[in-house]
Amino acid sequence: MIDKNLIQQTNEEGSDDYHIKIIDLMKFYRHDWLNHFQVILGYVSLKKYEQIPHYIQKVIEDAKKRSIISNFEPSELAVFLYMMMIEYPKLNIELELDEGLEIKEEDVDGKWILHHLKGFLDLFDQRAKMDEEYHSLFLSLNNLDKKMIIIFEYEGNISPVMEKIKAMGKQIDSEGGKFEIDLYNEDECIMELHFPFKGIRGVNHVCR
C-alpha cells in the first residue's frame, strides 16, 4: 500500500512522529483499498460490468501518484503529501503530478518547499472551516526550467485569509522564490509558488 522506499527513508531519517504517521497512513490506505474492492463488487452485483475497467484505471492512476511521491526527498515532504488528504478533509484536495516528477535533495530544498506548502494549506483549511460552503483545492506539482512549481487552484471565497496569503508570498519572494496570483475573485483563486533549484536560488537563506 505504501512504497517500501518511503518506509525505509522514514526509518533512517524520520522522527517518532513520522513513524506514527506512517502507521496512520497504512490504516488509511488499508481502509481505502477495502473500499475499492467493495465498489467493484457492487458493480458486479448490479451487473454494471462496463464501469469496472474505468474504476480500476482510476485506482491505477492513484497508485502511480503514490509511487512517485514515495521517492521524494526529504521523507517528511513525501509523508506530508500522503497525509494531506487525511489532515485537510474540508479542502477536497485533488493532486496532479507532472510525469517524471522528481524531488531530490541535491537539486531541491525539500524542507523549504514543505514549510511553505504546509503554510498555504493551513490557510486554505482555516478558510474552509469558517463556514459550510463547498471548498476544493486542485494542487499541481511540476519541475520546469530548474525550479519546482506548485500551482493552487482554489474553488471558494478566499478573501478572509488573502492578506495572510500575500504576506506568505512576500516571504517566498524574499527567500529567492517567486509568488504569483494568476486569478482572484469571490469564487476562485489561482496562484503559483516557484522554488528555484539550489544552484540558482540566488540567496543563502534556507528554510529549516
Show the domains of the chain with their CATH numbers.
Answer: 1-74 (no CATH), 88-208 (3.30.565.10)
Does residue 63 contact residue 30 with C-beta atoms inside 8 Å? no
* Among the ranges given (57-61, 120-124, 180-184), the one the predictor scored with the smallest mean pLDDT: 57-61
What number is the average pLDDT over the span 185-195? Answer: 95
Coil, helix or strand for 12? helix
> What percentage of residues in the chain have a pLDDT greater than 90?
45
Q: What is the pTM of this model?
A: 0.76
C-alpha to C-alpha distance for 70 and 9, rounded to whole angstroms: 9
Looking from the CA of 138 toward its CB, the CA atoms found within 13 Å total 7
Hey, what's the cell of 143? Answer: 519541475
Averaged pLDDT for residues 7-13: 50
∠ CA 112-180-183, rounded to 5°: 135
pLDDT tens digits, 144-154: 888 999 999 99
Residue 193 has pLDDT above 70, yes or no: yes
CA geometry: angle at 111 spanning 22 and 18, to 5°? 15
Q: Which is more confident, 29 or 125? A: 125
How would residue 22 be classed by pLDDT, with cut points 50, 70 and 90? low
Which residue blocks in the chain are alpha helix, DSSP H?
Answer: 4-13, 16-45, 51-70, 75-87, 110-128, 162-174
Q: How would DSSP label each residue in 101-129? A: ----TTT--HHHHHHHHHHHHHHHHHHHT
Distance CA 53, CA 56 (A): 5
Please identify which residue in the block is written with the cell numbers 483545492: 137
